[in-house]
Amino acid sequence: MKHTIKFNPYDVEAIEMARFAKALGHPVRIEILRFLESQACCFTGEIVEVFPLAQSTISQHLKELKEAGLIQGEVNPPKVKYCIDQVNWHKAQKLFNEFFNQMSDVSRACST
CATH of residue 94: 1.10.10.10
Give percent of the chain with pLDDT exceeding 90: 61
What residues make up the domain containing 22?
14-99
Answer whether residue 34 is part of any domain.
yes
Answer whether residue 8 is part of any domain.
no
- How do residues 27-55 score in pLDDT, each as one tens digit? 999 999 999 999 888 898 899 999 999 99
Nearest to 32 by CA among 19, 10, 41, 9: 41
Answer whether residue 2 is part of any domain.
no
Answer whether residue 20 is part of any domain.
yes
- How do residues 82-104 score in pLDDT, each as one tens digit? 999 999 999 999 999 998 888 76
Q: Is residue 62 exposed (0-12), middle (13-18) or buried (19+ Cβ within 10 Å)?
A: buried
Q: Has this prediction a pTM greater than 0.85?
A: no
Q: Supply the mean pLDDT for the chain.
A: 87
Answer whether residue 9 is part of any domain.
no
Number of domains within the chain: 1
